[in-house]
């Protein structure tokens, strides 16, 4: 049974009532981020109950030594972990000498609100302490979008039934460990505590990776809104410093502590300037004050929502779901730094190391292309180009040569750092997603400059890998790819996974085709690239030979491509026959049992039909969808979105809607029973795709924007915006009509439900469906 304690609301995530068994889940759901840092929704005050402490700095990681039972040649030496950073949000509260701890007092009227429209998180509650004192607490915090190093907290306490002596101790603490440490290492070292009057700083360096950071704080106190000049007392140890403020507060008065804190890092600053930069940030924060900073926050989020929002009319649950997804995508990545990427958990947890996966290219790129701009999308592609040399090194470690590139399954700096052999060695289809992203970017943006500047070198490295990874089967008279894991990770070490073979075939052809195009249109650039890569015509001919003769498993009787060789040898019992008490199967079944089953974790063959939809007829898609979906258990967060898009394409609107709700509320309703570990950030981009590509039917066909809208019967309509080749287009869909507008200069050709039309600036275009 899914969780259902989140209150339905179009713009807010709301929890009413304090339940200790929900704390870790809510810490994930109410997380904050600003692209440069993020944190789980941990309590500021001490909490003795179960909690998952988490604050994270973008790009700062630790190479945790790989831990496996049997070392195999080619294993990565480490698994990169996004570090649990020093804690800057902490505020210990003592009232009449009693520590405020929600696990040790009576809690009433507890409420959390994550305001997605304005970008802040608030917690309200009343507590009755052991001495009978009742207090009301209101805490608001946000991570600034305008000053990326800064976070701000307002912590208000009001005694309700008698006067109270309050001791508030804001602190920063570098004595932090990751929950997912392989060897229980201390990830932070060379910790230095610095105090300058009422400012505190902790300089710390990460072990092994040697990132240097400065965690900082400064606080102000107020009584009933008037600043109180209180002298702080200092308490510190080797890893922590706190500044305590004492004040007796009359019944009904409100004591407020405003805390400003955050991080400076040597990713952006000179090491010698980290404390100085932190002081400048604090100076700016105090000059503006909490209220003005919050206004700036609201304005910054309003600008994001102006472009990124999707409005759903008549279905609050669906509306809340899509905004939750869009909100967390923007908290995780804003596209301003090409050295960063989008981790599957973002800033909400440590699982998967917080590193980059193929999810970025397969799922996230369309969202950022359409809701940001071309440069943001290009930065995501440039990230892989900058890692090309490392991808070649990764391939060399596995025995490949001559410039073959195998991009990592998991990475922070281009090196492979995933330590499961069936993934690291076998889930090689990731290379194909990176090539497809280049194609998808050029198709959508029309930008022809990325390919000669960077893209072709990436394609050459990928094509060389596929040429060497395929082997010729005399028995099949075709090239085969053996020993792989496809997108369906419930199958390992299989031969001829159809998706892997098909995308390899396509990559080889596409790389050769792009070489031909650049040779024809820009010979100087072509000569530069071929000289740099030592590429020859003979090598390209070999690519095409492998592509043309690639084996694709197919069953003549069923008329469908087989997921892999031997798939039909399984006991083909549909997922609907599974005992619901045994779901998700990865939490109840042995891996042996899963591998012998026909169950599909996420779209595999259908992932290929999604990428290459225009290679197949709708009848062919329908046959494959109807065959494979019944065996799919959707236990990957990336599964429902692809199925929603394809179900909408086939006119299966009830199924499309159900899959949309699942992907949009995957974490809110905890479908996979793991939200306490963090959110599924990259699959959230798939939620956006489910609406825009699924219900909106957005495609690029023959270099033209096309829409084939359908509105689920549960909705009155929906609206979204896209940035298509610098044209900002608003699309509003209802059951019987679609309305398009653009304010940009210049007409744009568009196709709506098979009608070729021209959209003119400031002239609404209405089409009856």
Give the pLDDT band of residue 316 (cuts 50, 70, 90). very high
Number of DSSP helices (H) and strands (E) in the chain, helices first: 20, 34
- Pick from 207, 237, 232: which is nearest to 217 by CA? 232
User: Is the confidence at residue 66, as pLDDT, over 80?
Assistant: no
CA 744 to chain centre: 31
Give the pLDDT band of residue 79 (cuts 50, 70, 90). confident
The phi-psi region of residue 494 (left if phi > 0; otherwise alpha if psi is between -120 and 50; otherwise beta) is beta
Round to whole Å and give the CA distance between 298 and 118.
4
Q: Is 632 helix (H, G, I), strand (E, B) or coil?
A: strand
Looking at residues 610-624, what average pLDDT do you find? 98
Written as one string, the DSSP assignment of 672-704 is TS-GGG---HHHHHHHHHIIIIIIS--EEETTE
Full-model pTM: 0.97
Helix axes 430-445, 456-469, angle to 10 degrees: 150
Taking a C-beta distance cutoff of 8 angstroms, is the pair 639, 629 a contact? no
Beta strands in 381-522 (DSSP E): 471-473, 478-480
Give the residue with greater pLDDT, 185 vs 586: 586
Q: Is 450 helix (H, G, I), strand (E, B) or coil?
A: helix
For 720, phi then psi, to 5°, come to -155, 165
Which tokens hold the place of 374? 């071309």
Give the pLDDT band of residue 367 (cuts 50, 70, 90). very high
- Sheet with strand 98-99: strands edge to edge: 98-99, 91-95, 164-173, 240-249, 233-236
pLDDT averaged over the chain? 95
Taking a C-beta distance cutoff of 8 angstroms, is the pair 561, 553 a contact? yes
Helix axes 523-533, 498-521, angle to 10 degrees: 130
Which residue of the set 15, 256, 426, 489 is catalytic? 489
pLDDT (0 to 100) of residue 509: 98
Give the pLDDT band of residue 182 (cuts 50, 70, 90). low
Looking at residues 295-320, what average pLDDT do you find? 98
pLDDT (0 to 100) of residue 185: 74
Q: How much of the chain, in percent, has pLDDT values that exceed 70?
A: 99
User: Is the confidence at residue 76, as pLDDT, over 90?
Assistant: no
Q: pLDDT tens digits, residue range 247-290?
A: 999 999 999 999 999 999 999 999 999 999 999 999 999 999 99
User: Is the confidence at residue 80, as pLDDT, over 80?
Assistant: no
pLDDT (0 to 100) of residue 718: 98
pLDDT (0 to 100) of residue 112: 98
User: Is the confidence at residue 232, as pLDDT, over 90?
Assistant: yes
Query: Of the ranges 75-84, 405-414, 480-489, 702-711, which one carries the lowest mean pLDDT score?
Result: 75-84
Taking a C-beta distance cutoff of 8 angstroms, is the pair 694, 613 a contact? no
pLDDT (0 to 100) of residue 183: 59
Going by the DSSP 8-state scheme, the letter that residue 30 receives in this structure is: T
Torsion angle of the four alpha carbons 101, 102, 105, 109, in this order, in degrees rounded to the nearest 10: 140
Q: pLDDT tens digits, residue range 113-152?
A: 999 999 999 999 999 999 999 999 999 999 999 999 999 9
Taking a C-beta distance cutoff of 8 angstroms, is the pair 689, 645 a contact? yes
Give the residue with greater pLDDT, 675 vs 356: 675
Looking at residues 392-409, what average pLDDT do you find? 95
pLDDT (0 to 100) of residue 716: 98
Looking at residues 542-552, what average pLDDT do you find? 98
pLDDT (0 to 100) of residue 351: 80
Q: pLDDT tens digits, residue range 572-601?
A: 999 999 999 999 999 999 999 999 999 999
User: Is the confidence at residue 471, as pLDDT, over 90?
Assistant: yes
Round to whole Å and give the CA distance between 499 and 98.
61
- Is residue 427 part of the annotated active site? The answer reads no
Looking at residues 403-420, what average pLDDT do you find? 90
User: Is the confidence at residue 498, as pLDDT, over 90?
Assistant: yes
608-638 burial string, b = 16+ CB within 10 Å, else e? bbbbeeeeeeeeebbbbbebbbebbbbbbbb
User: Is the confidence at residue 69, as pLDDT, over 70?
Assistant: no
Which tokens hold the place of 220? 């102000």
Q: How much of the chain, in percent, has pLDDT values that exceed 90?
A: 89
Round to whole Å and give the CA distance between 53 and 61.
17
User: Is the confidence at residue 81, as pLDDT, over 80?
Assistant: no
User: Is the confidence at residue 354, as pLDDT, over 70?
Assistant: no
User: Is the confidence at residue 391, as pLDDT, over 70?
Assistant: yes
The residues that bridge with 124 in the sheet, in sequence order, are 111, 138
User: Is the confidence at residue 558, as pLDDT, over 90?
Assistant: yes
Looking at residues 463-477, what average pLDDT do you find? 98
- Pick from 449, 394, 461, 320: which is nearest to 14 by CA? 320
């Amino acid at each position: 049974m899914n969780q259902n304690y989140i209150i339905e609301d179009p713009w807010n995530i709301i929890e009413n009532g304090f339940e200790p068994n929900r704390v870790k889940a809510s810490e994930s759901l109410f997380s904050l981020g600003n692209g440069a840092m993020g944190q789980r929704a941990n309590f500021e005050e001490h909490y003795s109950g179960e909690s998952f402490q988490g604050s994270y700095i973008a790009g700062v990681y630790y190479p945790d030594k790989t831990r496996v039972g049997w070392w195999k040649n080619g294993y990565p030496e480490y698994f990169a972990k996004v570090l649990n950073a020093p804690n800057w949000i902490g505020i210990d509260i003592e009232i009449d000498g009693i520590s405020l701890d929600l696990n040790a007092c009576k809690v009433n009227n507890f409420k959390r609100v994550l305001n997605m429209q304005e970008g802040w998180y608030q917690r309200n509650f009343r507590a009755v302490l052991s001495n009978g004192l009742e207090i009301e607490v209101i805490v608001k915090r946000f991570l600034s979008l305008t000053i990326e190093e800064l976070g701000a907290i307002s912590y208000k306490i009001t005694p309700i039934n008698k006067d109270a002596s309050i001791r508030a101790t804001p602190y920063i603490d570098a004595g932090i460990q990751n929950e997912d440490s392989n060897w229980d290492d201390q990830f932070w070292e060379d910790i230095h505590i610095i105090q300058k009057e009422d400012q505190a700083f902790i300089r710390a360096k990460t072990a092994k990776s040697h990132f240097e950071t400065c965690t900082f704080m400064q606080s102000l106190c107020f009584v009933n809104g008037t600043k109180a000049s209180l002298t702080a007392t200092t308490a510190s140890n080797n890893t922590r410093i706190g500044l305590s403020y004492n004040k007796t507060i009359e019944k009904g008065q409100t004591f407020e502590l405003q805390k400003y804190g955050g991080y400076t890092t040597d990713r952006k600053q000179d090491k010698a300037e980290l404390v100085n930069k932190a002081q400048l940030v604090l100076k700016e924060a105090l000059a503006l004050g909490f209220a003005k900073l919050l206004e700036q926050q609201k304005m910054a989020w309003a600008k994001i929502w102006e472009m990124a929002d999707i409005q759903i009319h008549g279905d609050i649950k669906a509306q809340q779901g899509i905004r939750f997804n869009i909100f967390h995508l923007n908290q995780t990545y804003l596209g301003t730094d090409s050295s960063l990427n989008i981790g599957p958990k973002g800033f909400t947890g440590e699982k998967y190391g917080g590193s980059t996966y193929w999810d970025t290219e397969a799922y996230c790129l369309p969202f950022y292309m359409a809701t940001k701009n071309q440069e943001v999308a290009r930065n995501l592609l440039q990230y892989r180009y900058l890692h090309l040399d490392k991808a070649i090194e990764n391939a060399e470690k596995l025995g490949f040569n001559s410039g073959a590139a195998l991009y990592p399954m998991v990475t922070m700096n281009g090196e492979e750092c995933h330590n499961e052999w069936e993934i690291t060695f076998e889930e090689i289809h990731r290379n194909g997603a990176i090539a497809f992203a280049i194609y998808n970017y050029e198709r959508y943006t029309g930008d022809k400059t990325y390919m000669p500047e960077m893209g072709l070198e990436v394609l050459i490295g990928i094509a060389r890998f596929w040429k060497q990874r395929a082997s010729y089967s005399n028995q099949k008279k075709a090239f085969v790819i053996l020993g792989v894991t496809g997108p369906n990770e419930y199958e390992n070490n299989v031969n001829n996974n159809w998706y892997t073979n098909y995308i390899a075939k396509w990559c080889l052809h596409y790389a050769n085709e792009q070489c031909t195009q650049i040779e024809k249109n820009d010979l100087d650039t072509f000569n530069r690239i071929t000289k740099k890569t030592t590429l020859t015509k003979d090598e390209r001919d070999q690519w095409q030979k492998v592509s043309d003769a690639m084996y694709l498993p197919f069953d003549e009787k069923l008329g469908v491509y087989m997921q892999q060789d031997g798939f039909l040898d399984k006991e083909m019992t549909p997922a609907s026959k599974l005992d619901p008490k045994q779901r998700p199967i990865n939490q109840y079944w042995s891996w042996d049992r899963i591998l012998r089953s026909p169950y599909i974790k996420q779209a595999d063959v259908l992932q290929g039909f999604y990428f290459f939809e225009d290679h197949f007829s709708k009848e062919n898609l329908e046959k494959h969808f109807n065959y494979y979906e019944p065996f799919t258990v959707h236990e990957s967060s990336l599964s429902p979105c692809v199925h929603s898009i394809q179900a909408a394409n086939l006119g299966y609107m009830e199924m499309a809607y159900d899959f949309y709700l699942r992907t949009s509320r995957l974490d809110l309703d905890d479908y996979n029973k793991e939200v306490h570990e963090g959110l599924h950030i990259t699959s959230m981009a798939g939620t956006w795709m489910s609406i825009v590509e699924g219900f909106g039917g957005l495609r690029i066909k023959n270099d033209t924007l096309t829409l084939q809208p359908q509105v689920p019967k549960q909705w009155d309509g929906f609206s979204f915006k896209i940035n298509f080749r610098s044209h900002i287009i608003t699309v509003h869909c209802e059951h019987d009509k679609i309305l398009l507008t653009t304010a940009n200069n210049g007409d744009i050709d568009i196709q709506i439900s098979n009608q070729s039309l021209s959209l003119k600036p400031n002239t609404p275009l209405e089409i009856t469906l």
